[in-house]
Amino acid sequence: MTDEQQLPYTVVDGASFTPDSDEVIPFSLSVEGLEGTGKTHFSLMTSPLPIRHVNFSDRSAKGWLYAMSEERRAATKLFDFAPLTKAGWSRADGLKSLSALSQLAQAEMAEGKLQGGTFIIDSGSTWWDVIQECYVAPEAEKQQRDYGKQLGGLAYGKGNLIVKGIVNWLKAQGAFVILTHQMKQNWAGDGPIAGSYSPRMNTQVGYMVEVRLQLYLKCNDCGGTECVKPNHTRTHYGRIVKFGNNTPGGTAMIGMELPNPSMSMIYNLFTGRQLPGVPESIGGK
């Protein structure tokens, strides 16, 4: 069948479907948190193999290869996207990067190549920044020229469509999909709200992913989540803010706080099954 003849959907006929108790059931996650709370660690060190990691961040993930087992390292590929000049992301750079991302996803995931593995966009916040610069900003500029003002949310139509198309395509390839997101300070009229943050992400992502997990550090000595005192020890925690498997009791998972969270923990809660061959905690211990 040629590309022109390819149908834009797949079909699963329940009448002929036999559940496989050993089959890995992939889903998508938004992993959110402040700097240093373990978003990349969770994604790279606890997720099912093989792994394809797309870096749209300020730091290369190469250092994590040193912390991996030989098996995990051999099954991991890292792709680094960065501005082509010291001036930062230009519109031309962004368009090239988005096109390249589509090409590499097709090459690495199409036809079940990453079945049961994990595809990571880290960070989804910067990825969305690039999409906004390439597709939202030009539309806003056009509105300003044509109407003398910007028409608010209408400028986001194409950007939202691109995000939905890419995320839904990734989810359809039989792999786990993780998008990490940074947090931004929430503000009130008088200034920033202490201890209050929201994920910096495209609004459509929250609807499309099955699970949203917000990571934070909790001090073992004073109990604070923003403690910076020296010589205090801290534990990684994950708070479930969306849990969309629609099973009985599934909504009871919302608000649950997991110490040292891992993909195997989330998978067990989501499916009731064990996820083979991955570390049991965020620390990989």
DSSP track, 173-223:
TTSEEEEEE-EEEEEETTEEEEEEEEE-S-HHHHHH-SEEEEEEEEETTT-
Banded model confidence at residue 266, pLDDT cuts 50, 70, 90: very high
One-letter amino acid of 13: D
Lowest model confidence (mean pLDDT) among 155-164, 200-209, 219-228, 243-252:
243-252
Give the C-alpha distances (Å, rounded to integers) separating 167 from 7, 118, 145, 149, 282: 19, 13, 32, 31, 24
For the cut 60, the answer to whether the pLDDT of residue 248 exceeds it is no
88, pLDDT greater than 90: no
177 band by pLDDT with thresholds 50, 70 and 90: very high
Q: Helix-strand-coil percent breakdown of the chain, rounded to 5?
A: 35, 20, 40
What backbone torsions phi and psi does residue 55 show, to the nearest 5 degrees? -95, 110
pLDDT tens for 212-246 read: 999 999 998 888 888 888 999 999 999 999 998 55
Q: State the chain's mean pLDDT as an integer.
A: 85
Bigger pLDDT: 15 vs 278: 15
d(Cα 50, Cα 136) in Å, to the nearest integer? 34
Q: What is the pLDDT of residue 214?
A: 96
pLDDT digits (tens, 9 = 90+) for 44-69: 999 999 999 999 877 789 999 999 99
The string of DSSP codes covering 26-91 is --EEEEEESTTSSHHHHHHHHSPSSEEEEE-SSS-STTHHHHS-HHHHHTEEEEE---SSTT---H
Q: What percent of the chain has pLDDT over 90?
A: 42
Q: What is the pTM of this model?
A: 0.86
Give residue 284's pLDDT.
39
Instruction: Determine the average pLDDT of the residues in 136-147.
Output: 78
Beta carbons within 8 Å of 14's beta carbon, 6+ residues apart:
none
Average pLDDT over residues 123-134: 89
Please report which confidence band the pLDDT of residue 273 belongs to, taking 50, 70 and 90 as the band edges: confident
Residue 240 pLDDT = 94
Which is nearest to 108 in space by CA: 18, 169, 150, 40? 169
Residue bearing the bigger pLDDT, 252 or 164: 164
Three-state secondary structure call for residue 110: helix
Of the listed ranges 28-37, 105-114, 275-284, the least confidently predicted one is 275-284
For residue 76, give the nearest of 41, 45, 112, 107 by alpha carbon. 45
Q: Which two tokens stand for residue 227?
A: 């403690």
Q: What is the pLDDT of residue 238?
A: 95
Name the nearest CA neighbour of 117 among 149, 82, 77, 84: 77
- CA dihedral in degrees (248, 10, 113, 180; nearest 10)? -50
Return d(Cα 144, Cα 154) in angstroms, integer.
12
Top-confidence residue, 158 or 249: 158
Distance of CA 270 to the CA centre of its chain: 17
